[in-house]
Amino acid sequence: MWKNKLLKISDHAGKAIGKVEKYCGDPARTVTFFALVLTVFYTVQCSLFQNILGLDVLETITWGAQGAWGHAKHPPLSGWLGYGISYLGGHKDWIMYLAAHCCTALSVIYVYKCARIFMDKYESGTAALLLYFLFYYSPSETKFCTYPLEMMLVPMSSFYFFRALQDNKWHNWLLLGLLAALGILNKYSFGLVMTAWAVIFFRNKANLQLLKSAKPYLAAALMIVLLLPHLRWLYENDFVCLTHVGNRLSDEYKWYTPLVTISTAAYPYGMMALVLLLTSILNSRTLQRTTIKKAPAIDFLLIAALPAVTLIVLSFFGDIIQMWFCTMAAMAAAAITAFFPWKIDRRFFAGTVLLLTMYSILMMLGTTLDVTLKSKPRVHSLPESYTFAAVEFYRKHDPTKPIPIVVGPRFEATVLENYLPHRPPACEIDDPIFLKLYTQKIRREGALLIGKPEKFEQFKKDMNIEQINFQKINFTYKSLWGKKRKRAYFLAYLPPVSSEAASVPSTVQGK
């Protein structure tokens, strides 16, 4: 009975698939088309309906503005690129949305290229398009920071890894060394990907012949040379990035963390398997069994699963950020496609395209309604709600110069740095690297403080300040069609240490 129902569904879907199939002769072009359309749409959507950059983007730009070889949370690459892209785009918000979606688009394209080394064009195209069914690749999660960069770098570097193993050409080894260094300079978790490469390399005895060539050693030397400045910076700053990772893992442990972590790790496999199942149902009359591509499937799975398994193990001992898993989904798409036991031909690929088209339309409508109907403070607050009050407040106390530096929690401080015309540096209140970098400037020139007063207790002790008087600033925010909501923050003026008073009352009235 159920077989007859499936066949009827297949017959009805077959007509639609037949219409789509005539446009699916070139999967590379189809993948590029989806990447281009979704990148443009979500860049425009974010630019039109989001009034302010998210915290991850703002702090990334702030880190890059320092021009250092690292900061308290991550190595320097995401900050360098974030600030550089923002600068080239005239510090407009849209350029950061575009950059993030370009990273995910390149991730999808390089999954196609990587899969194409071992599979035919329709299998490779299906593997690439499966990624767009994951929420990691949706606008709600795509913010320019370490995550989309790693989502791009993993399949890109893996492509050159497999090409280097295949043809042993200089340029592939050098690109592999370069991309491996960039991966580490973006996020230390990239080391887990490199560990998977090592397992893949040594599990095939034929690869050992490559060690007789100078090319792998040159790639390793290039990577090490590129990492040396950051390693020196780490040593000079007490390995602060590694301390941050340790602190994250030592956060308050919750008994259900491993369960959440396992579910998060399984999510991309379950979602992509569901898409392949639905596509199989739509093509049930034409499905043919085929042999799985075991060797590349295992290789792809190692790159995707080894980091995931490591994080699952760590989740039994401390807290895990679930977004850490987003960078592992790319090669999982190639793995699950290589393990798929039915033939993926042009018609099957067309079925995937049909499902993705419907899914993308629903996502476009759903995310647009969400961003226009639901008011969110870190999405819909106007930058002017912070900048106008900050400038007016500071001029009441020191009309002779612009704000020299902003001290406070990450979001509020980086908002002022990013949206004030003269871009005063932001100093995060509990970041040891920021404080080390800017303490003398704060003492010499004074600062504008922003944030809740209780956040500054340790700062007052470190700066030997007896009292800081804060002024509450009220403002409202709303989405295009959402409810108007209220929010507040606090401002205070900190004079240079040479000034007479260590405490100055605030007089400007909040608006």
Check whether residue 401 and residue 490 sit in a common domain. Answer: yes
Specify the pLDDT at position 333: 96
* Confidence band for 229, pLDDT divided at 50, 70 and 90: very high
Q: Residue 213's domain spans which residues? A: 2-373
Tell which phi-psi region holds residue 423, choosing left (phi > 0), alpha (psi between -120 and 50) or beta: left
Average of per-residue pLDDT across 84-102: 96
- As beta bridge partners, residue 490 has 472
Instruction: Name, in order, each residue with C-beta under 8 angstroms of 107's C-beta and a sequence gap of 6 or more.
Output: 131, 137, 148, 151, 152, 154, 155, 156, 330
Check whether residue 339 and residue 394 sit in a common domain. Answer: no
pLDDT of residue 508 exceeding 60, the answer is no
Check whether residue 383 and residue 366 sit in a common domain. Answer: no
Q: Is 366 part of any domain?
A: yes
Sign of CA dihedral 240, 244, 245, 246: positive
Tell which phi-psi region holds residue 408, choosing left (phi > 0), alpha (psi between -120 and 50) or beta: left
Specify the pLDDT at position 253: 67
Average of per-residue pLDDT across 53-59: 94
**Does residue 383 or residue 244 have the better pLDDT?**
383
Q: Is 434 part of any domain?
A: yes
Check whether residue 353 and residue 388 sit in a common domain. Answer: no
pLDDT of residue 509 exceeding 60, the answer is no
Query: In Å, how far from its chain's centre is CA 141?
Result: 8
Q: In this structure, are residues 429 and 412 in contact, taking their beta carbons and an 8 Å threshold?
A: no
Specify the pLDDT at position 324: 79
Summarised one tens digit per residue, pLDDT across range 236-289 is: 988 887 776 666 655 566 778 889 899 999 999 999 999 999 999 988 888 899
At position 496, the amino acid (one-letter code) is P
pLDDT of residue 305 exceeding 70, the answer is yes
* Backbone φ and ψ of 485, nearest 5°: -125, 160
Q: Is 272 part of any domain?
A: yes
The burial of 35, by beta-carbon neighbours within 10 Å (0-12 exposed, 13-18 middle, 19 or more buried), is given as buried
What stretches of 374-506 show up as alpha helix (H) in DSSP? Answer: 377-380, 384-397, 410-419, 432-445, 457-463
Q: Give one DSSP letter per residue of 398-412, joined into a string.
A: -TTS----EEESHHH
How much is the mean pLDDT over the chain?
91
* Confidence band for 502, pLDDT divided at 50, 70 and 90: very low
3-state SS record for 361-397:
HHHHHHHHHHHHHCCCHHHHCCCHHHHHHHHHHHHHH
pLDDT of residue 76 exceeding 90, the answer is yes
Q: Show which of 373, 391, 409 is a domain's final residue.
A: 373
**Does residue 500 or residue 67 have the better pLDDT?**
67
Check whether residue 346 and residue 473 sit in a common domain. Answer: no
- As beta bridge partners, residue 428 has 408
**H or E element that contains 280:** helix 257-282
Q: Rounded to whole angstroms, how far apart are CA atoms 185 and 162? A: 22
Q: Show which of 308, 341, 373 is a domain's final residue.
A: 373
Q: Is 436 part of any domain?
A: yes
Check whether residue 390 and residue 323 sit in a common domain. Answer: no
Specify the pLDDT at position 499: 47
Check whether residue 224 and residue 238 sit in a common domain. Answer: yes
Check whether residue 461 and residue 340 sit in a common domain. Answer: no
Q: In this structure, are residues 280 and 223 in contact, taking their beta carbons and an 8 Å threshold?
A: no
Q: In this structure, are residues 486 and 433 in contact, taking their beta carbons and an 8 Å threshold?
A: no
Q: Rounded to whole angstroms, how far apart are CA atoms 506 and 354? A: 61
Specify the pLDDT at position 475: 97
Specify the pLDDT at position 309: 93
Q: Rounded to whole angstroms, how far apart are CA atoms 81 and 144? A: 9
**H or E element that contains 477:** strand 471-477
* Confidence band for 321, pLDDT divided at 50, 70 and 90: confident
Average of per-residue pLDDT across 450-468: 91
Check whether residue 160 and residue 211 sit in a common domain. Answer: yes
Average of per-residue pLDDT across 396-418: 96
Q: In this structure, are residues 39 and 101 in contact, taking their beta carbons and an 8 Å threshold?
A: yes
pLDDT of residue 13 exceeding 90, the answer is no
Calculate Rg over the CA atoms of the chain.
26
- As beta bridge partners, residue 407 has 427, 449
Q: In this structure, are residues 121 and 27 in contact, taking their beta carbons and an 8 Å threshold?
A: yes
The tally of domains found in the chain comes to 2
Check whether residue 64 and residue 128 sit in a common domain. Answer: yes
Choose the weakest-confidence range: 59-63, 220-224, 325-329, 500-504. 500-504
The length of the chain in residues reads: 511
Q: Rounded to whole angstroms, how far apart are CA atoms 502 and 465? A: 6
Average of per-residue pLDDT across 117-126: 97
Q: Is 205 part of any domain?
A: yes
Specify the pLDDT at position 286: 83
Angle at 93 between CA 413 and CA 29, to 5 degrees: 140
Specify the pLDDT at position 250: 53
Q: Is 505 part of any domain?
A: no
Q: Show which of 346, 373, 400 is a domain's final residue.
A: 373
Instruction: Name, in order, each residue with C-beta under 8 angstroms of 302's C-beta and a sequence gap of 6 or more.
Output: 196, 199, 200
Check whether residue 78 and residue 214 sit in a common domain. Answer: yes
Q: Is 37 part of any domain?
A: yes
Check whether residue 435 and residue 340 sit in a common domain. Answer: no
Summarised one tens digit per residue, pLDDT across range 438-451 is: 999 999 999 999 99
Place of tokens 């929420």: 135
**How much of the chain, in percent, has pLDDT values that exceed 70?**
92
Q: Is 15 part of any domain?
A: yes
